[in-house]
Amino acid sequence: IKQFQEKFAPDLEIISEQTYPVSEKDYKPYLSKIKELNPDVIFASGYYFQTGPMLRQARELGIETKIVGEEGADSPKLMEIAGDNAEGFYIVTNFDRDDPRPVVQDFLKEYRERHKIEPDMVGASAYDAFMIIVEAIKTAGSTDGAKIRDAIAALKDYNGLTGLIGGFDEIGEVVKPVQVQVVRDGVFRHFGVVTEPELIQP
């Protein structure tokens, strides 16, 4: 958070930072402190099994502040846990289910038919990763590890489920857009996209 603030939002005032154990179930002590501070927005990092109860408990305490999470919360199970309390919850993630491209809509249709559940970011990202390896094997014309690695490194403008993948940078990080989703009527919907995200290196 501090690195992001210093680089992109130096005027942003962070009024509270709190951490919780991975096994935490009761977030009300943390949320009660946040409620007293009345922030403009809450960034809640965690997986769906953490963020779901957190959203429910926040609304039970009367917190109406906008809450923003990240891809760990990108799962239909979030809504199962949080119910209506998930409405208006924003996440930054890899997958836009409203993307009209055939590669996305065909995947959604087949995934739902095969597995009888809604796909999530993990499924979409795993599919992209696997298919990029397949593409690299075809490009390399070989199953040699070094040749596959070089073909992946040279990949450009791959039409992936998670967006148009421009390639990989000098440290091997993927170059692609970042999706912003919001929960509307119990499902994640498109809200926006960051087309040229900048990586903060540790």
| Strands in the chain per DSSP E | 41-43, 66-70, 90-93, 158-160, 163-165, 167-168, 174-175, 178-184, 187-194
Give the pLDDT score at 185: 96
Q: Does one domain contain both 89 and 188?
A: yes
Q: In total, how many domains does the chain have?
A: 2
DSSP code of 99?
-
Domain around 109: 102-174
Q: Which residue has the tokens 């890899």?
A: 94
Residues in the chain: 202
The model's pTM is 0.89
**Nearest of 2, 58, 8, 65 to residue 29 by alpha carbon:** 58
Would you write out the chain's pLDDT as a tens digit for each of its 202 residues?
778 888 888 898 999 999 999 999 999 999 999 999 999 999 999 999 999 999 999 999 999 999 999 999 999 999 999 999 999 999 999 999 999 999 999 999 999 999 999 899 999 999 999 999 999 999 999 999 999 999 999 999 999 999 999 999 988 899 999 999 999 999 999 999 998 888 777 6
What stretches of 96-153 show up as alpha helix (H) in DSSP?
102-115, 121-140, 145-153
Q: Contact at 8 Å (CB) between 158 and 164?
A: yes
Give the pLDDT score at 3: 81
Beta bridge partners of 167: 175
Q: Does one domain contain both 54 and 132?
A: no
Q: For residue 135, give both structure tokens.
A: 């593409």
Q: Does one domain contain both 163 and 63?
A: no
Structural domain contains residue 80: yes
